[in-house]
Structure formats: structure tokens, C-alpha cells
Structure 1
Amino acid sequence: MTTTRFAPSPTGYIHVGNLRTALMNYLIARKAGGTFILRIDDTDPERSKEEYVDAIKQDMEWLGLHWDRVERQSDRLDRYAEAADKLREMGRFYEAFETPTELDLKRKKQLNMGKPPVYDRAALNLSDAEKEALRAERGSGVWRFKLDHERIEWNDGILGDISIDAASVSDPVLIRGDGQVLYTIASVVDDTEMGVTDVVRGSDHVTNTATQIQIIKALGGTCPRFAHHSLLTGPQGEALSKRLGTLALRDLREQGVQPMALLSLMARLGSSDPVELRSEMAELIEGFDVNRFGAAPTKFDVQDLFPLTAKHLQSLPLADVADAVSDAGVPADLAEPFWAMARENITTLADLKGWWELCRDGAEPLIADEDRDFIAEAMALLPEGSFDGETWGKWTSTVKEATGRKGKGLFMPLRKALTGMERGPEMATLLPLLQVIRAKS
């Protein structure tokens, strides 16, 4: 069975970069009728916060990315300890004591000599007595996985054939000096024991994947299929890393972005397929193919979400937005005609309030000096009684006959006088709503 996972760290709110990873893994699992695991990477007790765990779940529920089960890495520390012991017994795990400053000096020296800046494995030459002395002086060391210096190869679902020389990579630290288990080994143990078959993540993890393949094999596991998606940039190709904090999903939700607008964009962004607004998750699932994504950095412009949001809202019946219409102050008996008028003229649901205020209170007339007599004559010709969908057409025909005005010279001054705006809803739709509300006040 196909099994995928999304493994966020609860150290902050998830953003559009995280969403890309979550969505791809979700769509793969759902398309195959498999399992999607939400795995909370909370092995860092100082930075992990329960409020962020709750926020991650809230954001995913808002988007409709429903998981089959939740796992927490903090509940699995014993499993990681067993894996570490197994690696020690195999001679693939060793303790190292260099300080960050010492490691930095080593890297600089290697670079000056034209060599790759990888860890030199000096710790492997320490005697037991030297290790004891270093522990007494510095405390426990870090634990590094000893890589086999050979080529690590796999066929990547997005990047194609990958081949990395393990000798060009430092032996990865899997456990810190304070005992904290790091992502590299925790993820391997979890993926193996949870039967994860497909892993999609950012291209910044390619080197991690190479080392994890060796760890998986050392522990007797089966390697999942890996795919590494491109990283997002800003609309001009600029790095997004410093802005991702302002692109948290909850901030986009606060700005009125609709879930299907966001999902429709992220399910196609960076692929060879055009972005198309979808109305439901099933369409995204059916049309998803991770192999159609490219390796090049992918431009993301948050402004692209708003036309998609507007288009999505236009497709919704009143039942889907009834709460928002009510929250804008619209009485229940006017909700249907109000939504029919407003839906074509909003970008987000927050815009409903302004249209309701126009209908309820009217607007400051926008009348040019040369149009004042014309507007006065036109208003005098406004029919009495209730208005309907034909009132605007009948009224403007009468005004045209009386004044000789036609086209833009007829319709624009009337629109500006009634709404205070040059653009907006069809006046045939808006006029009855304005009259009904004024009659009720």
C-alpha cells in the first residue's frame, strides 16, 4: 500500500513552502488509495510548542488535508535509541568532540587546500582514554554515522537519476551532545517502521536523502521512492526564505484567500501543467502527477491567489457563504439577491461589508458639474413603486428619450450618481436592491 507522510516541526506556523510538501504527499496517497500520516517532528523539547501542533492541525483541516493518523516523534525516542545501539554494534556510529570553532577552522583549512570541507573523521583515531578525558572536559560528544565512501544513487521522481559521492559529504550528526535525536535518524526509523513508500520534500534535502539511504540500508530497511521538489522564490526570482514567516497559511486565511484557490495553485505550480482553478479536492487528486514537476526554482507570487479566490467565490451558491453574508449585516430575506449582486464584484468575502454598506446607506453621489441638470431630470423620471430587474432598462430608456443622451454619456453619470463609483455590479441587479433596502428603512 502507498504510504506518505508530512512531518512538520511544531516550532512555528506552517507556510506555503511547507504546504507544497504536505499537498504533494497527500495527493500521492489519496490518488493511490493509500495512507497519509501527519508526523509531528517534536524531538526538540525546547523549541517545540503544543500551540504550534494545534495550529498545524487547524491549518490542514482548513485546507481539507485530512490525515489518516497522527504520529509524534517524542513518543518514539526509545525506537531511535534502539537504532542508535544497533549502529554502534555495527561500527557505523562514533562519538566526536570537536567544538563548532574547531570544525570551522578545519573547514577553512580544507577549502584553502582545495579539498571538500567534510569532516575528517579525526574522532575515529581517539583512544578510550582520550574520549574519557574529552567527556570530562567538554561533556558528551555528538554521534556521527560513518558513511561508506561509495556512490549513492537513486532515481528521483522529479530530479531524475541522482548520484552523490559519499566521500564528498560529512558523516552526519544523528544525536547531539545534549542527547537530542536529530531528524536524519528519526525520519529513517519512522519511515522504515511505518512503511512509508513515497517521500516528497524540498530539493534542499537531497544530501540528507543520500545519507539516509545508507542509514536505511544499514538498519535493514527498504528505501522509499524519493522526489525532491524545487524551492519557491519570489515573483522576481528572489529568495523567499526570509519572507516565509509572512506567508504562513493562517495569514493567508486572514487575508481572505480561499482554500481551493491556494490548493489549485500549489498543486500545479512548478509543473508542466497550467494552473487551473478546481472546485473540489477530487479534481486535484485525479490530475496530480509528481513526475510532471520540474527542478528549476519556482516563482511564487502571493497576489496570484486573489484572482483565483475571486473566481472561486463567483462559483459558490449562497448556502456556501451564508455565514459571511450574515456577518456582513445582510438581513436573511435579502441574502439571496444581495449575493447575486455582490458575488461578481468581490475579491474576498471581506469585501461583502462594503457592498452591504452601499446598499444600506447609499453612497456620496459623484456628479460632474456638467451633469447636474441631467441627473436632476433623470431622478425626476425614476418610476415610483417597487423596482425589479427590468426597472433599470425601462428607466434609462425613458431618460434617453427625454434628454437625448445615450451610451456612456447616459449610463456612466447615472451609475456614479447612484453608487459614487465608475465601476461595479450590473445596475439592473443593484437598483432593485437599493430600492428595497431604502423602502425598508
Structure 2
Amino acid sequence: MTVTRFAPSPTGYIHVGNLRTALFNFLIARKQGGTFILRIDDTDPERSKEEYVDAIKQDLEWLGLTWDRVERQSDRLDRYADAADKYRDMGRFYEAFETPTELDLKRKKQLNMGKPPVYDRAALALSDDDKARLRTERGDGVWRFKLDQERIEWTDGILGDLSIDAASVSDPVLIRADGQVLYTLASVVDDTDMGVTHVVRGSDHVTNTATQIQMIHALGATAPAFAHHSLLTGPQGEALSKRLGTLSIRDLRARGIAPMALLSLMARLGSSQPVELRSSIDELIEGFDLSQFGSAPTKFDENDLLPLTAHVLQGTDYASVKDRIAAAGVPDDLAQAFWAVVRDNISVLDEVDGWWALMRDGADPLVDDEDADFIRAAMPMLPEEVDGDTWGQWTSAVKDATGRKGKGLFMPLRKAVTGRTNGPDMAALLPLLQVIKARTY
């Protein structure tokens, strides 16, 4: 059976980069009728916060990405200790005591000599007395996994055949000096114990994957099928990492982005398939094909979410947005008519606030200098009682009186009444405006 996982760290809110990983693993599991595990990577007690665990679940639920079970790495520390003991017993785990400064000097020396900046395994030459002395002087050391210095090969689900020379990679640190288990060890043990069959993650993890394959094999297990998706950039190809804090799922939700707009974009972004708005997660599952994705950096522009969200809103019925419209202050007797008028003219749901403010309070008129006399002549012709026929009657009267027609007639009137150059059909909008006749033009 197919088993996938999403393993976020509860040290902050998940963002679009995290979502891409979560979504791919979710879709693979669902398409194969398998299991999708939400695995909370909370082995760092200082940075992990329960509020972020709750937030991660809330964001995934909002998107409709349901999980089959939750695992917490903080509950599995005994299993990681067991795996560490097993590595020690087979001579694949050793303690190292270099300080960060010493490691940095070693890397610089290797680079100056034209060599890869790989840990030199000096700790392997330490005697028991040396280790005891260093523990006294410096405290406990870190624990490194001893890689077999051979080529590590696998067929990646996106990148194709990959081969990494383990001699060009430092023996990974799996346990810090303070005893904290690091991601690499926890992930290997979890993937092995939980029978994870497929892992999709960012291409920045390719080297980690190579080391983890060796670690998994050392435990006598079979490695999952790995795939590494491209990393996101900004719309101009700029690094997105510094902006990810403003691209959290929570912030996009607060800005009124529709869940299916976000999912539809992320399920196709970076693939050879066109981005198409889907109406349900089932449609996303049916159309998902990991082989269609490429390795090139993928441009993400949050503005691309706006037309997709607008399409979602155009097909959204009043009942689904009733509470949000009430929160904007729209009276119950006007709410349905209000939604019918504005839903084709908003990109995100939060824009209902601005439209209701316009209808309730009016807007500063936009009157070009060349239209000033025209507007002064036209406004007194607007009937006191306004209904669905008023716009047609009013524009006909103004046309007869001024000789204006077409865009030269309609646009100045729209701008004078709404303060905007575009918007809903004026015949439907006029009856909802509350203050037109009270204005001075």
C-alpha cells in the first residue's frame, strides 16, 4: 500500500513552499488509495510551539488536505535512541568534538586546496582517553553517521537517475551535543517504522536523500521512492525564501484567497500541464501526474491566485458567503441582491467590504475636467426613486439632453456615481446605492 507523509516543523506557520510538498504527497496517497500521514517534526523543544501545531492542522483542514493519522516525533525519542544504538553497534556512529570555529577553518583550508569542504573524520582517530579529555574540556560531542564512501544511486520521481559520491558528502550529524535528535535520524527511523513508500520534497534535500538512503539500508530496510520538486522563486526569478514569511497559508487565507484557487495553482505549477481551476479535490487527484513536473526553478506569483479566486467566487452561492457578507455590515434584506451584484467584480472575498462601503456611504466622484459641465447637467435628471429600470431611463434622458452617446455617455456617469472606472452592471448597482441624490456635483 502507498504511504506518504508531510512532516512540518511547528516552529512557524506553513507557507506556499511547504504546501507544495504537502499537496504532492497528499495527492499521491489519495490517487493510490493509500495513507497520508501528518508527522509533526517537534524534536526541537526550544523552537517547537503547540500553537503552531494547531495552526498547521487548521491550515490543512481549510485547504481540505485531510490526513489519516498524526504522528509526533517527540513521542518517538526512544525509537531514535534504539536506532542510534544499532548504528553504534555496527560501527557506523561516532562522536566528534570540533567546535564550529574549528570546522569552519577546516572547510576554508579544504576549499583553498581545491578540495570539497567535507568533514575529515578526524574524530575517528581519537582514543578513549582523548574522548574522555575532550568531554571534560568541552562537554559531550555530536554524533555523526559514518557513510560508506561509495556512489549512492537512485531513480528520482522527478529528476530521473541520480548518483552522488558519498565521499563528497560530510558524515551527517544526527544527534547534537545537547542530545537533540536531528531531522535526518528521526526521518529515517520514522519512514522505516511507518512503512513510508513515497517521499516528495524540495530539491534542496537531494544530498540529504543520498545519506538517508544509506542510513535506511543500514537499518536493513528498503528506501522509499524519492522525488524532488523544484524550488519556488519570485515572478522575476528572485529568491523567494525571504518572502515566505508573508506567503503563509494563513496570510493568503486572510487576504481572501479561495482554497481551490490555491490548490489548483500549486497542483500544476512547475509542470508541463496548464494551470486550470478545479472545482474539487477529487478533480485534482484525478489529474495529478508527478512525471509531468520538471527540475527548473518554478516562478510563483501570488497575483496569479487572484483570477483563479475570482472564478471561484463567481460560482459561489449566497449561502456559502452569507456570514462573511453579514460581517461586512450588509443588511439581511439587501444581502442576496448585494452578492448577486458584486460577486462577478471581486478578486478576493474581502473586497465585499469596499463595495458595501461604496453602496452605503458613496465614494468621491471621479469627474474629468472636460466632463464637469456634463455631470452637472446629468445628475439632476436622476430620478428620486431608483429601481432596475432607472439606469436605462436616466441614460436615455441624459443622451437626449446632451447628445452624448456610447462610452462618452456611460463612463462619466459611472465614474461620477461610483468613483470607479469599472464594476457591476449599473442597472443592478443603482438600486443598492444609498446616497446618490445627497451628493453635490
Shift of 1:379: 4.5
Q: How does 1:134-149 map to 2 (within 5 A)?
A: 134-149=134-149
Letter in 1 for 2:299: K
**1:232 paired residue number:** 232
1:208 is the counterpart of 2:204: no
* 1:9-408 superposed matches below 5 A: 9-368=9-368, 371=371, 374-375=374-375, 378-383=378-383, 385=385, 387-388=387-388, 390-408=389-407
> What CA distance in whole angstroms lies between the structure 1 residues aligned with 2:84 and 2:434?
76
Structure 1 residues 392, 74: closer, same or farther in 2, change over 3 A?
Answer: same
Deviation at 1:290, TM superposition (A): 1.3
SS at match of 1:243: helix
| Aligned sequence identity (%) | 79
Distance 1:170 1:365 in 2: 67
In structure 1, how many angstroms separate the alpha carbons of the residues matched to 2:373 and 2:166? Answer: 85
Shift of 1:401: 3.3
Q: For the Cα contact (< 8 Å) 1:97–1:138, is it kept in 2?
A: yes
CA deviation map 1:32-62 (0-9, x unaligned): 1111111011111111111111111121112
Post-superposition Cα deviations, 1:314-361, rounded to whole Å, max 9, x if no partner, equal 221111111111111111121111111111222222211221122223
Greater mean alpha carbon deviation, residues 194-203 or residues 284-293:
284-293
Instruction: Note closer, same or farther for the CA distance 1:368–1:213 as it changes in structure 2 (3 Å cut).
Output: closer
Equivalent residue of 2:144, what SS?
Answer: strand
CA distance in 2, matches of 1:385, 1:112: 85
1:317–1:164 CA distance, 2 compared to 1 (3 A): same
Q: CA deviation at 1:386?
A: 5.3
CA RMSD of aligned residues (A): 2.1
Cα 1:412–1:153 change in 2 (3 A) is: same
Q: Is the 8 A contact 1:415 1:427 kept in 2?
A: yes
The 1-side partners of 2:427 and 2:2 are apart by 54
More divergent stretch after superposition (129-138 vs 218-227): 129-138
Asked whether the equivalents of residues 360 and 438 of structure 1 are also in contact (C-alpha less than 8 Å), the reply is no
Q: 1:409 to 1:101 in 2, by over 3 A?
A: closer
Map of 1:417 onto structure 2? 416
SS in 1 for 2:242: coil
CA contact (8 A) 2:384 2:437 kept: no
After TM superposition, give the deviation of residue 368 of structure 1 in Å: 5.0
**SS of residue matched to 1:162:** strand
Q: Which residue of 2 aligns with 1:431?
A: 430
Amino acid at match of 2:263: L
The 3 A distance-change label for structure 1 pair 194 and 386 is same
More displaced stretch, 242-251 vs 153-162 = 242-251
Q: 1:374 to 1:155 in 2, by over 3 A?
A: same
Report the Cα distance in structure 1 between the residues aligned to 2:91 and 2:271, rounded to whole angstroms: 43
Seen in structure 2, the aligned counterparts of structure 1 residues 143 and 384 have a Cα distance that, compared at 3 Å, is closer
CA-to-aligned-CA distance 1:3-38 (integer Å, 9 cap, x gap): 111101111111111111111111111111111111
- For each residue in 1:223-261, what CA deviation from the matched residue of structure 2 results, as whole angstroms up to 9, or x when unmatched? 111000111111111112222222222122222222122
TM-score, normalised relative to structure 2: 0.94
Describe the SS at the equivalent of 1:337: helix
Deviates more, 1:5-14 or 1:112-121: 112-121
- Distance in 2, matches of 1:329 and 1:366, equals 25
Contact 1:386–1:435 under 8 Å retained in 2: no
Q: 1:3·1:197 contact (CA, 8 Å) conserved in 2?
A: yes
CA–CA distance in structure 1, aligned partners of residues 169 and 363 of structure 2: 68
What letter is aligned with 1:136?
Answer: T
The residue type equivalent to 1:145 in the other structure is F
Which residue identity does 1:399 align to in structure 2? V
* TM-aligned CA deviation for residue 172 of structure 1: 0.9
| 1:386 and 1:436 in contact (8 A); partners too | no
Once residues 397 and 409 of structure 1 are traced to their aligned partners in structure 2, the CA distance between those partners, rounded to angstroms, is: 13
Q: Contact (CA 8 Å) 1:360, 1:437: kept in 2 or not?
A: no
Distance 2:136 2:384 in 1: 96
Quickly say closer, same or farther: Cα 1:393–1:177, change in 2 above 3 A.
same
Aligned AA (2:432):
L
Whole-Å separation in 2 of the counterparts to 1:57 and 1:165:
39
Instruction: Could you tell me which runs of 5 or more consecutive residues in structure 1 were left unpaired when the two chains were aligned.
Output: none
Over 3 Å counting, the alpha-carbon distance change for 1:427 and 1:97 in structure 2 is: same
CA contact (8 A) 1:387 1:436 kept: no
Give the AA of the match of 1:424: G
Q: Tell me if the contact between 1:359 and 1:437 (Cα under 8 Å) persists in the aligned partners.
A: no
Say whether the 8 Å CA contact 1:381–1:399 is kept in structure 2: yes
Query: What number of residue pairs does the alignment pair up?
Result: 438
| Most deviating of 369-378 and 320-329 | 369-378
SS of equivalent to 1:196:
coil
Structure 2 distance, partners of 1:391, 1:104, is 77
Structure 2 letter corresponding to 1:430? L
Distance 1:99 1:420 in 2: 65
Shift of 1:370: 5.6
- Note the C-alpha offset of 1:311: 2.4
Deviation at 1:382, TM superposition (A): 4.0
Q: 1:403 Cα shift?
A: 3.6
